[in-house]
Amino acid sequence: MFDKIDPQWLTSFHCVYEHNSFKRAAEFLGLPTSNVSRHIALLEERLDTRLFTRTTRRITSTDAGEHLYLCTQPLLDKLNQALEEVAQHSHAVVGELKILMPDSPALAEAVVSFCNQYPSVSLCCDTSINPKEDLLDGFDIVLSFQRGKLEDNSWVAREIQRWPSAVVASPKILQRFPRPFQLADLKQVPCINSFTVLHGNPWIFKNAKGQLITQKVASSFKVNSGHLAKTAAISGLGFAILPRAFCQAEIQAGMLEVIEMEYQPDDLVLYAFYASRRHLAKKIPIFIEHLKYHASLVA
């Protein structure tokens, strides 16, 4: 029977019962009086019983109307309470947050700080620098470092932080190989590549207009760690592209030198990816804003 009753009919019925007036019920609901009258008529027709006795001066509920109100009012109250709780829950920072991210000390601090600030969130975090495409759907947010143009996919990408980068090399390797100036020169010197998420070969540069330029380089040392790449560059194993802020201390100490090229390397960018949903759980945008704020403090 319930599937044959329009909920709006019951809403109009309850409002007329409580106000003892079609006109006042219509004003309360913000509907034309004719609509409210039609709702009651349809409900009476579907139940095959009269719910109100109408006179020119007043309306009163029938015994059937009284019974219907008393039986359905507690149910509607519980339904309304449940709907409000769900709506409130969707705007609260609660529930499990599943994150896939690189194993980075700075990101770890940001995640722990978020959990301390929002104790109602339970965390499930996996660390991988090169997640498989078919695993992404199991996470609320995927954090990933990228350089160059993003690949097309169904996920929403939010930029968290970007770091200007430079080609760097140690004095040791500059004694053994000529200093490169043109991008094509990189084919003649050993380079340190990332082999996973950053698609290290080719290297990605940008011109003055911001257009991307790729350059294949010679490499026998491929890593998926910025720390490892910097350590290798310092030891003289090869030239590397690193964020300037990440190796500024080593540059000032003379352990690394910035190699000025005809074009600058493209920035390293940390992105937060999440599935495109119309109704997004509050925990996701709040976590992303927390991450951006934390990144601004350490930048």
Q: What are phi and psi of 72, to 5 degrees?
A: -95, -20
Mean pLDDT along residues 125-131: 71
The answer on pLDDT for 13 being more than 70 is: yes
Mean pLDDT along residues 16-21: 88
Query: How confident is the prediction for the chain on average, in pLDDT?
Result: 85
Gyration radius (Cα) of the chain, Å? 32
Mean pLDDT along residues 129-156: 74
Mean pLDDT along residues 74-101: 76
pLDDT at 235: 94
The answer on pLDDT for 87 being more than 70 is: no
Name the pairing type of β-strands 59-61 and 52-54. Answer: antiparallel
- Between CA 1 and CA 7 the distance in angstroms is 12
**Residue type for 260, please?**
E
The answer on pLDDT for 297 being more than 90 is: no
Cα 208 → chain centroid: 31
The answer on pLDDT for 12 being more than 50 is: yes
83: burial class by Cβ within 10 Å (0-12, 13-18, 19+)? exposed
pLDDT at 103: 83
- Residue 198 — very low, low, confident or very high, per pLDDT cuts 50/70/90? very low
| Span 199-253, pLDDT tens digits | 455 789 999 888 999 888 878 788 877 888 999 999 999 999 999 999 999 999 9
Three-state SS for 120-172 is CEEEEEEECCCCCHHHHHHCCEEEEEECCCCCCCCEEEEEEEEECEEEEECHH
The answer on pLDDT for 102 being more than 90 is: no
| Span 268-282, pLDDT tens digits | 999 999 887 666 778
Mean pLDDT along residues 111-138: 77
Quote the percentage of the chain above a pLDDT of 70.
Answer: 88
10 or 85, greater pLDDT: 10
219 or 196, greater pLDDT: 219
Mean pLDDT along residues 66-71: 90
- HSE value, Cβ hemisphere, 13 Å, CA-based, for 136: 19
56 or 239, greater pLDDT: 239
**Lowest-pLDDT range of 134-143, 151-160, 192-201, 220-229:** 192-201
Q: At what angle do helices 7-19 and 33-47 cross, to 10 degrees?
A: 110
pLDDT at 196: 52
149: burial class by Cβ within 10 Å (0-12, 13-18, 19+)? exposed
- Residue 86 — very low, low, confident or very high, per pLDDT cuts 50/70/90? low
The 3-state DSSP class for residue 26 equals helix
Name the pairing type of β-strands 203-206 and 212-215. Answer: antiparallel
The answer on pLDDT for 83 being more than 80 is: no
For residue 140, what are the contacts with CB-CB under 8 A and spacing of at least 6?
97, 98, 99, 274, 275, 281, 283, 284
With beta carbons less than 8 A apart as the criterion, state whether 234 and 170 touch. Answer: yes
The answer on pLDDT for 119 being more than 50 is: yes
Q: What is the DSSP letter of 236?
A: T
CA dihedral for 222, 225, 228, 232, sign (positive or negative): positive
